[in-house]
Amino acid sequence: MPEYKAPIRDMKFVMQELLDCDSHYQKLGYEDASLDMVDAIITEAAKFTEQVVAPINQSGDEQGCTWNDGEVTTPDGFKEAYQQYVDGGWPTLAQNVDFGGQGLPHSLNTAITEFFSSANHSFAMYPGLSHGALATIEAHGSDKDKNIFIPKLVEGTWTGTMCLTEPHCGTDLGMLRTKAEINDDGSYSITGTKIFISAGEHDLSDNIVHIVIARIPGSPEGSRGISLFIVPKFNVTDAGEVSDRNAVSCGSIEHKMGINANATCVINFDGAKGYLIGEVNRGLNCMFTFMNAARLGVATEGVAAAEASFQGALAYAKDRLQMRSLSGVKNPEGPADAIIVHPDVRRMLLTQKSIAEGGRALIAYLSQLVDVGHAPVSEGRVNEAEKASAEAKLALLTPIAKAFLTELGLECTSHGVQVFGGHGYIKEWGMEQLMRDTKISCLYEGTTGIQALDLLARKILGSKGEILKPFGAEVTAFCVENSGNEAMQEFIQPIMTFGGDWQKMTEKLGLKAMDNPDEIGAASVDYLMYSGYLVLAYFWARMAKVSQDKLAAGDDDSAFYQAKIKTARFYFQRILPRASGHAACVENGSDSMMALDADDFAF
């Protein structure tokens, strides 16, 4: 199994040098989030991840979770590691101080989340889902619900889930059958079955708080009749103490392709007591609080997978001797050269590196936008226009980040297996586990196709292109600012060209969709991938500019900055051109895609 090392230097580069987190935190009033504090937290998180979380990754995959009469036992070491996680105060980091949190920024928590996910995807999912449950209750729950459920979720002694999918419906939540009937005391009786519930049952926490969508009898059909409920595994007193077992049970756990150490459950609600969150029939609106937070978390998983696979592949490529370099012997003392000298191995390693580091910058940027969105409007800190701009950028970039970074994260894990050759296909090396674990990230919280439809149909065409303007203005301003910098032209000119084509593509699609709505579905994934390559190019250009400035100032860490510029050049020359292929697919339209009748696919 590759030995994971948290990328502390690159994380600090992104947070402190690229995005100036110090000024960002001080502007928003996070006085405690000084550079010294940020450094200390990142360093301690790295240590905890490397020493506690990473060592149980491969054994957890091999052992998996076990189900016995409705109870789930996690693999050896998971319960002890989770207790250390709680004892270390990690769940409280970015939570509200009114409920026992430390009140530190969301973006700082996101940084350490990447470490956990790289080191052990399955483990990271247990506390990760609690953040979405917390955000949903805090945003939409009653004061009573907040006081009962949030403190325990904050400290990590309780965990949370989201319960959406049912056996007969996946993405089409309007087809749900779970029902909620009101009780005399104002609570609801929840009855139905949910499937694919990550961390739905386990032995890590004292209680599990399920966030459940259901339909109240008499509500409208479809998504307009969905309501949202808190349904705990154990009933809770008004004082917030666990009492008797609720009518919630785990019917089974799934036998999966990957993330075997995380329990993916069938959860049965048999008249379980639940509590309405928000307004009746407005559950889906409330649920988007959970879903948007989860989508950014899943995007981070894509970056984490690329980083973990890169680390394993790089170490192996430096050590493994195979063949001689075509340009001359590089290891005359050995029988062959290390495979890192071969161009094709370099192609795979640099693809991994450019996606991991570029994706890290995008995620850090998005998490800072979340910080702005959470900040109250205050004179001298954040005004309404800044919040509106941040929210528009988040709405545009969240589906791109979720789908693009997970698809490329999966590609990077495939490269990791390929660099190892036959050894990559063997379990003890750990590379195939990364690939198996990462595929789910392309699926849950909305598949790539669903994210693409959300981006193109709902966000861009739905706003008549208005949602593109805040981020587009930012990219344009950066290009104009650096238009006279000769050293930056290899990065600026492609962004301007691809950016202009992005706008034309969007306008043309809007016109075509008016005549044939299938054009949206036919173009959506290619459109999203094109957008992703362009967005990542912008962040690579920014990283190149920071690195150029550091070198010009005579910074001692010149090797780091030189590597940044060289990796940026690789991205622009070998990765960004992929966008042109996606543009051609969009241009070619839906005709060939829709030409076959359903019966013509097979004979």
pLDDT recorded at residue 461: 95
Strand-pair partners of 252: 266
Across 351-363, average pLDDT: 98
Residue 98, pLDDT score: 95
User: For position 289, what pLDDT does the model report?
Assistant: 75
**Which pLDDT band, with edges at 50, 70 and 90, does 127 fall under?**
very high
pLDDT at 365 over 90: yes
Tens of pLDDT, residues 505-548? 999 999 999 999 999 999 999 999 999 999 999 999 999 999 99
Within 13 Å, how many C-alpha atoms sit on residue 354's CB side? 27
In the structure, what pLDDT confidence band is assigned to residue 290 with cuts at 50, 70 and 90?
confident
pLDDT of res. 223: 87
Assigned architecture for domain 287-452: Up-down Bundle (1.20)
| Average pLDDT over all residues of the chain | 95
Which helix H or strand E contains 62, and what residues bound it?
Answer: helix 57-63
As a whole-number percent, the residues of the chain with pLDDT over 90 amount to 92
31 is catalytic: no
Catalytic residue among 114, 301, 432, 445: 445
Partners of residue 193 on adjacent β-strands: 268
Mean pLDDT of 364-389: 92
Quickly list H helices, 467-517. 469-481, 489-515
- How far apart CA 563 and CA 20 sit, in angstroms, is 21
Q: What is the pLDDT of residue 47?
A: 98
Predicted confidence band at 285 (pLDDT cuts at 50, 70, 90)? Answer: confident
pLDDT score of 261 more than 80: yes
* Helix (DSSP H) and strand (DSSP E) numbers for the chain: 19, 11
**Does 1 or 102 have the greater pLDDT score?**
102
Model confidence band, residue 292 (pLDDT cutoffs 50, 70, 90): confident
| pLDDT score recorded for residue 291 | 78
Q: Is the pLDDT of residue 340 over 80?
A: yes
Q: What's the rounded mean pLDDT across residues 116-137? A: 94
Q: Above 90 in pLDDT, residue 386?
A: yes
- Whole-prediction pTM: 0.97
For the cut 90, the answer to whether the pLDDT of residue 363 exceeds it is: yes
pLDDT range class, residue 487, cuts 50, 70, 90: very high
Beta-bridge mates of residue 184: none
pLDDT value for 251? 97
| Residue 119 near residue 53, CB atoms below 8 Å | yes
Percent of the chain clearing pLDDT 70 (strictly above): 100
Contact (Cβ atoms closer than 8 angstroms) between residue 204 and residue 159: yes
How would residue 555 be classed by pLDDT, with cut points 50, 70 and 90?
A: confident
Question: Range(s) for CATH 1.20.140.10 in the chain?
Answer: 287-452
State the pLDDT at residue 506: 96
| Nearest Cα residue to 92 out of 130, 56, 43, 118 | 130
Q: What is the pLDDT of residue 284?
A: 83
Q: What would the two tokens of residue 101 be?
A: 């949190």
pLDDT at 264 over 90: yes
CB within 8 Å of 296: residues ≥ 6 apart: 110, 363, 366, 367, 370, 398, 401, 402
pLDDT tens for residues 34-90? 999 999 999 999 999 999 999 999 999 999 999 999 999 999 999 999 999 999 999
Compute the distance between CA of residue 341 and CA of residue 318 in angstroms, rounded to an integer.
9
**Residues 245-273, mean pLDDT to the nearest whole number:** 98
- Rounded CA gap, 112 and 109, in Å? 5
Q: What is the pLDDT of residue 179?
A: 97
DSSP 338: B
Q: What token pair was written down for 95?
A: 């939570």
Q: What is the pLDDT of residues 189-242, one digit of tens each?
A: 999 999 999 999 999 999 999 999 999 999 999 889 999 999 999 999 998 999
Q: Are the CB atoms for 286 and 278 separated by under 8 Å?
A: yes
418: pLDDT strictly greater than 90: yes
Q: Average of pLDDT values for 101-110?
A: 96
> Is the pLDDT assigned to residue 280 strictly greater than 80?
yes
The DSSP letter of residue 31 is T
Alpha-carbon distance 107 to 370, whole Å? Answer: 7
